[in-house]
Amino acid sequence: MGMTVAEKILSRKNLAGTPVHAGDLIDCSIDGIMVHNSYRYVAAAYRKIGFPDGPPRVWDSEKICLMLEHFQPPASELMAVRNKEARQFARRVGLKHFYDTELGICHQMMFDYGHVRPGELIVGTDSHTLVYGALNAAGTGIGGEEAAYVVAFGELWFQVPETIKIVLKGSPRDYPMAKEIALTLAGLYGDDLAQYKAIEYTGSPIKELSLDSRMCLSCHGVEMGAKFAFFPADDVALEYLGDRTDVPFQVTAADADAEYVREIELNLDEVGFVVARPHRFDNVAPVEEVAGVKIDQALIGSCANGRFEDIEIAARMLRGNKVHPRVRFFIEPASWTVYRQCLDAGIIGPLIEAGAQLQAPGCWVCEAHGSVLADGEVCITSTTRNYRGRKGSRMAELYLGGPATVTAAAIAGEIVHPKEVYDGF
């Protein structure tokens, strides 16, 4: 019987050294762990067992990436204290990859600095760690106590997931449409489509999808309940890795006779502009059905849509246009690497001149740390989630859309079909 990507990677990492299949409970060796500001939960786990200063040692100082990015710079004394605690730990145990003052989203920085490689099993203290599947890695989120164990021992238990095969057909558009693909899948099949399952994206259009788009789709695997969300390690992925890493890796592909719990076909020619209405990721409708909803705020950013192609489409659409005077339009690049891409492309200045507010890289645009909403306000965002209270007031409303849909609304002051404000589609 053939094996899926998840089964192959977990078989290689199985400490028992035997092949595994969906449903098996196994102990695995870990290739790397990303810990962001949630180090405080790791420290709390160690305090419970009598280590007030955190882990006395770590399993491998080269394989732990610690980043203070969610609360950098700290916006309160409590955040500053937590950052200090993480800083002291990193110095005491000699972590080789500690990102202290650098702004950015943890996952984007993991990509930027070559910490994600095909065929690896990587865990992270953030639910969107699935994004590493864009580079053919098995990435998944874990909790603080699990992370405490991995930091010390480099091992963790898993149940091998069943896999859903999603076959893309048709042709991608000339604008970033990964968000539309993710929302369309959730709208058709529900946000529990892949509950504790792996997703494998396949099909001929993949070779035309940028790594930015693949990262968006793998990232949103968790919004569909997935454990992993894989793309193949093709020329696009291998070119990106380029000089980012000299660590050997093993490209992993499913066998032709691999067994899938479900196969889904999605024709990209039939995927249009859609939005997720409040307050669920799968509350999806064509943009025409919600056209006319007045907005107060628009956002582009996050680990789902804070990359160059997402910001470039906004700049393209704003050329010759202005942000509506009633709208606050925040754009937050995912990292300084992405910010420099935008600078090199000459799009930062025009965005500002058109009325957009450029933010320093980070996660602020996604959560209720910045650009907070008041009661009754409406926001359309390309970020990750739209549940009640995600951006502040529980009486505010969040719509999710792709960067083109978000930009169109920022220009019009209300949700509209992007073609109404930009004739390039």
Other Cβ atoms less than 10 A from the Cβ of 203: the count is 17
CA distances from 179 to 184, 188, 271, 404 (A): 8, 14, 11, 10
Sign of the dihedral through C-alpha 229, 235, 241, 246:
positive
Closest CA to 81 of 40, 140, 25: 40
Q: Do both 361 and 255 map to the same domain?
A: no
Q: Do both 239 and 312 map to the same domain?
A: no
Residue 100 lies in a domain: yes
Q: Which residues pair with 298 in a beta bridge?
A: 329, 380
Q: Do both 168 and 303 map to the same domain?
A: no
The pLDDT of residue 225 is 97
Q: Do both 90 and 203 map to the same domain?
A: yes
Structure tokens at 5: 């990507």
Domain end among 266, 292, 307: 266
Q: Do both 284 and 250 map to the same domain?
A: no
Q: Do both 181 and 315 map to the same domain?
A: no
Q: Do both 412 and 298 map to the same domain?
A: yes
Residue 124 lies in a domain: yes
Domain end among 208, 233, 266: 266
Domain end among 231, 266, 301: 266
Cα–Cα–Cα angle for 229, 277, 304, rounded to 5 degrees: 35
Q: At what angle do helices 308-318 and 211-219 cross, to 10 degrees?
A: 110
Q: Which residue has the tokens 């955190």?
A: 54
Residues 6 or more apart whose CB falls under 8 angstroms from that of 241 comprise 114, 117, 118, 135, 249
Q: Which residues pair with 32 in a beta bridge?
A: 122
- Domain of residue 101, CATH code: 3.30.499.10
Task: Report yes or no: 290 and 378 within 8 Å, Cβ to Cβ.
Answer: no
Q: How many alpha carbons lie under 13 Å from residue 418 in its C-beta half-sphere?
A: 23
Q: Do both 131 and 230 map to the same domain?
A: yes
Through-space distance between the first and last CA atoms of the chain, rounded to whole angstroms? 45
Q: Do both 299 and 259 map to the same domain?
A: no
Question: Could you give the CA distance from residue 33 to residue 204 in angstroms, rounded to a whole number?
Answer: 32
The pLDDT of residue 163 is 98
Q: Which residue has the tokens 């910010």?
A: 339
The pLDDT of residue 365 is 78
Q: Do both 222 and 306 map to the same domain?
A: no
Task: Report yes or no: 286 and 399 within 8 Å, Cβ to Cβ.
Answer: no
The pLDDT of residue 74 is 82
Closest CA to 148 of 51, 82, 14: 51
Q: Which residues pair with 198 in a beta bridge?
A: 163, 228
Low-confidence ranges of the chain (pLDDT < 50): none
- Give the domain range for residue 394: 276-420
Amino acid making up residue 264: I
Other Cβ atoms less than 10 A from the Cβ of 206: the count is 18
Question: Could you give the CA distance from residue 262 to residue 161 in angstroms, rounded to a whole number?
Answer: 12
Q: Do both 356 and 216 map to the same domain?
A: no
Residues 6 or more apart whose CB falls under 8 angstroms from that of 270 comprise 170
What's the structural domain count of the chain?
2
CB-count burial class (<10 Å; 0-12, 13-18, 19+) for 239: exposed
Structure tokens at 228: 């992993």
Q: Do both 296 and 233 map to the same domain?
A: no
